[in-house]
Amino acid sequence: MTTLEELQDFCVEEIRRLSALSYYPSDAFGRGELAKALVKHADSIDHARRIVDAIIATCRQCPPPADIAVVAGEVPATTAKQAPPKRACPLCNGSGFRTREYTIERGVFAGEKRTEAVRCGCPPSAEPATVPKLDTRDPELAASVASAAARRRMQ
Ligand SMILES: [Zn+2]
């Protein structure tokens, strides 16, 4: 597990690799903005390294911060092979719920058929679709902390 501070420190160092490209900022504030963009868009130290690898491999000029965001979006956050998706449950089509028909037994509606939603209880060979994980990071906070860290570094 990488702390935000470790990621920031790494990104500040990693941005220096862009000095191999033309138009690398000679000004510390400019370099700080590049580091901030990398911290903001990198998911991990490994991701940050691969983003800079991609920039060095494809760019002749040092990109502006906005382009670092673009490259970061194109570099996968993880290189781990994705597990093959499990076959969606044929009963509930992966939703985890299906409808069940039942007959009302008592009262004025006795004998009428109704449907209700029930948990599917998918067979073990199938899995309900997974709910996507929410991104709980606070990008604004991360950016402001990153800029403070970058300023400290660049002094
Ligand atoms: Zn199911």
| 97 and 76 in a common domain | no
**Separation of 121 CA from ligand 1 center, angstroms?**
6
Q: State the pTM of this model.
A: 0.52
| pLDDT score, position 100 | 86
The tens digit of pLDDT for each residue in 58-111 reads: 999 999 999 999 999 999 988 776 555 567 788 888 788 888 889 999 999 899
Residues with Cβ–ion distance below 5 A, ligand 1: 89, 91-92, 120, 122
Same structural domain for residues 11 and 50? Answer: yes
Predicted local confidence at residue 85, as pLDDT: 59
**Does 100 lie in the same domain as 68?**
no
Q: How many domains does the chain have?
A: 2
Q: What is the Å distance from ligand 1's center to 133 Cα?
A: 20
Residues 53 and 34 in one domain: yes
Arithmetic mean of pLDDT over the chain = 84
HEC string for the chain: CCCHHHHHHHHHHHHHHHHHCECCCCCHHHHHHHHHHHHHHCCCHHHHHHHHHHHHHHCCECCCHHHHHHHHHHCCCCCCCCCCCCCECCCCCCCCEEEEEEECCCCCCCCCEEEEEEECCCCCCCECCCCCCCCCCCHHHHHHHHHHHHHHHHC
Q: Could you tell me if residue 35 is inside a domain?
A: yes
Tell me, yes or no, whether 133 lies in a domain.
no
Which tens digit of pLDDT belongs to each residue from 34-66?
999 999 999 999 999 999 999 999 999 999 999
Which domain covers residue 23, as residue numbers? 4-82+140-154
Distance 115 CA to ligand 1 centre (A): 17
